[in-house]
Amino acid sequence: MKKWEKSVQNKEIIRKLAVSCSISPLTSAVLASKGYSSPDSVRQSIDADGLSDPFLIKDMQSAVDTINQAIDENQLICVYGDYDCDGIMSCTILYTYLLESGANVMYYIPERSEGYGLNKDAIKSICDDGAKLIVTVDNGISAISESEYIYSLGMKLVVTDHHQQGEQLPKAEAVVDPHRLDCHSPFKDACGAVIALKIVAALNDGDYTSALEQFGDLAAMATVADIVKLKDENRFIVSYGLELINNTDRPALIALKEVAGLNNKKVDSRSIGFGLAPRINASGRFGSPKTAVKLFLCESYEEALPLAQELNTLNEERKNAENKIVSEIYQMIDENPSLVRDRVIFICGKNWHHGVIGIVASKIQEKFGKPCFIASEENGEIRGSARSFGDFSVFNALTYAKDSLEKFGGHVGAGGFTIKNGMAENFRQLINRFALENHKEMPVYTIKADVTVTPDELTVENVQELEILEPYGEGNEKPNFLIENARILNIIGLSGGVHTKIRIAIGNVQKDALMFWVSPDAFPLKVGDYCDIIAVLDKNEYRENISLSIKIEDIRPHGFNQDKFFNGFSVFESFTRNEELPDNYYSAMLPTRDMTVFIYKCIPKDTGINSDTLYIRLKHPDINYCRFCVAVEAMKQLGFITISSADSIIRTVPDAPKADLNSAPILVSLREKIK
C-alpha cells in the first residue's frame, strides 16, 4: 500500500491563475500544485518557444573552431558516444551532421562490457584507425587520465557532456558542459543529445533551424529517455520533437514504431519512455549499441525494418531476463522473508545480467516501498545497482559503506557499486546501520494527489484543456486527482476478470472508473462501500465519440487512517529486527487467539486474498495493522497459511498440521517482552 500525499490548495493563487491565464479552475489548480504561483511563471514554462544561444555555453566557440579545423584539414574525427539511448542519439546526431558536411568522420560507442565513457583500449584502437580528433557526446567530463592518454598518442579531444563536473576538468581543446562550474549558460538540464544538437547549431553559426528540423526528433527521444526535467528548453524540445515523430518520414522511426505497436497511434512522452526508448536501450544491454546507431543511419524502410526487428528481439530478451531475476528474488524472499524486513533491501544473486539490475532494483523498490540495492556475483566479482526515493540518499549510503566497496558512484536516487570479496554481509549491515542512524523514520513510498476534484469538474472539456500541460515527464508528471467519498454502485470484471470496472456515485453524479490488473475478487472494497480514489483523468475516443476516462491509481475506504496503518507496519518490522520499542507497544501488538481465528476465517479457501485487501475487509475495531501483521506471521510460522511475496496473496494450507497457536515464535517473543 502506498502513502497518499494530498496537495494543499491555495484558493487565491488558483483564482488568480484561472483569471489571468483564461483557464479553468481545475487546470489552474493543477498548475498551482506544481508550484506555479504567477501567470508569468506559467507562460514561461508552457510557452517555452526555443533554445538559448549555443555560444552561451562555455568553450562552445573553441569546440566549433577545433572541429572546423579538423574538417578543413581532412583529419579523421571520431564521435565517441555511450551505450544508452541518450548516448546513441547524441552520436547519431553529430556523426550524421559531420558526415553530411563532408567531414572525414567515424563513430565509436563502447559495448557495455567496456564500461561507461572513454577507455584506453578504445582510445588506442581509434588512434590506430588514424583519428586525430575525438569528440565525446554524453560522456567525457570525468575522463581525466583518459584525456591525458589521448594527447600522449598525438590526438586532440573535444568533450561535450551534460554530467556533473568533478574536482578537475579533463585535458581538452574544449569542454562543453553546462554543469561546468565556470559556465554561465542559462539552461543546465539538457541531456547529451540536446548538447550535441547545440553543437550542430553552433557549427551552423548558431542557427537552430536545420538542426531542429533534422534532429529534433532524436533529441526529444533522448530527453525523455534520460529522465531529465521537462521544463523550459526541455519542454520545447520534446514538444517540437513529438510533432516530428508523429509526422515522421525517418525510416528508423517508421520501422521502430511498427515493431513497438505504435503504428497509427499518437506518440507521446509515455510512448517514448515505454515503447521506443526501451528498444533502443536494449541494444546496449543485450546486443551492441552499434545496431541502434545503424538503424538511425538507414536511408530506407526496407533497410531499417530488419534492424528494428532485431532491437525488438533484444528488448524481449531484456524483459525475459528481467522477469527471471525478479522471479528468483521473489523465491528468495519466500524462503527468507527477513530479506525485505531490513530498513534497506539488499539482495545478491549469481550470474544475473548486469544490464537489467537497475531496472530490477526499481521494481523491487516499488513493490516493497524501500530503498533497494540489488547485486549479482559473477566470476568472483559482486556488482550492483541501487534505487531509492524520498530523502534517502543512495550516494550517502554507499559513502557510509565505502570500506566494504571496491568502487561506487551515483547520486541521491540511484547508484552503482562493486563489493569487495567476502564483504557482502558487511555491506548489508553498513547500509542498514546508515539507515538507522540517519532515518529513524524511513521514507514511505508515496503517491501524490495534485488536486481534489469535485463531481462537477469531471467533464471531457476539463480533461481536454489539461492537454496544454503536455508533454508530461520528469518534473512535469501527469496529474493525479483525488475523488473523495464516492459510493460504489457496481463492480464488473473486464477481459475475463483481469481488470475491474466500478460504477461510482459522487454526490448526484455517476461515473465509471477502471482499475487495471486487479480482478474483482482482489478488489479491496464491496458494493455499497464509500471510498476515496486517486485517479488519472483522460479521454476515450471511439468512432468520433469522446468520453471521460477515470483510471484508478489507488483506492481505499473513505476515512482510512493511513498514519495508523504505516505506523503499525513500521512497529511490526522494527520488532522483527529486534529493535527496542517502548514497553507499552508490546501489549498493543499482541493479537488474541479469537482475533487470529477471525482473520483466518476471513481468508477465502479457494482463491486466497491479498494481505492489504484482507485487512481492509476485516473492519475489526480491535485489530490494528500491527496486530494483523503479527497474527499473519504467527499463522505463517506454524504452517497454517502461505504468503506469496510476488503478489502478497495469503492462502490457507489444506490439511495443515495441528499446532498450539501460542507456540508461534513471534508470539513467544512478544510475551517475553511483555513480561
- Return d(Cα 306, Cα 410) in angstroms, integer: 36
CB-facing half-sphere around the CA of 28: CA atoms within 13 A = 19
What pLDDT digit, counting tens, does each position of 70-103 carry? 999 999 999 999 999 999 999 999 999 999 999 9
Domain 54-225 in the same topology as domain 3-45+448-557:
no
Taking CA atoms, 166 is separated from 177, 223, 399, 461, in Å, by: 12, 23, 16, 50
Q: Would you call 483 helix, strand, or coil by DSSP? A: strand
**What is the pLDDT averaged over residues 286-292?**
95
Asked if 536 contacts 530 with a C-beta cutoff of 8 angstroms, the reply is: no
Name which of 93, 347, 352 is nearest 198 in CA terms: 93
| Residue 578 pLDDT | 92
What pLDDT digit, counting tens, does each position of 95-109 carry? 999 999 999 999 999
Is-cis flag, bond preceding 471, omega within 30?
yes
Q: Name the residue with higher pLDDT: 410 or 607.
A: 607
What pLDDT digit, counting tens, does each position of 549-606 carry? 999 999 999 999 999 999 999 999 999 999 999 999 999 999 999 999 999 999 998 8
Q: Look up residue 632 and give its amino acid.
A: V
| Residue 40 pLDDT | 85
CATH of domain 3-45+448-557: 2.40.50.460
Give the DSSP letter string of 561-589: -HHHHHHHHHHHHHHHTT----HHHHHHH
Q: What is the mean pLDDT of the chain?
A: 94
- The beta strand positions in 420-472, using DSSP E, are 446-449, 451-452
Say which CATH topology domain 54-225 has. Answer: inorganic pyrophosphatase (n-terminal core) (3.90.1640)
pLDDT at 115 over 90: no
Residue whose C-alpha cell reads 579533463 in the numeric block: 170
pLDDT at 45 over 90: no
pLDDT at 543 over 90: no
pTM (two decimals): 0.88
Does 336-438 carry CATH code 3.10.310.30?
A: yes
Crossing angle between the packed helical segments 251-259 and 301-335, to the nearest 10 degrees? 40
Q: Would you call 360 helix, strand, or coil by DSSP? A: helix
What pLDDT digit, counting tens, does each position of 314-373 carry? 999 999 999 999 999 999 999 999 999 999 999 999 999 988 999 999 999 999 999 999
pLDDT at 113 over 90: no
For the record, the C-alpha cell of 596 comes out as 487470529
Residues 6+ apart with CB under 8 A from 114: 121, 122
What pLDDT digit, counting tens, does each position of 148-169 carry? 999 999 999 999 999 888 889 9
Beta-sheet pairing, 156-160 with 174-176: parallel
What is the residue extent of each domain of the chain?
3-45+448-557, 54-225, 248-335, 336-438, 562-674
At residue 410 the predicted structure's pLDDT band, cuts being 50, 70 and 90, is confident
pLDDT at 447 over 80: yes
Percent of the chain's residues with pLDDT above 70: 100
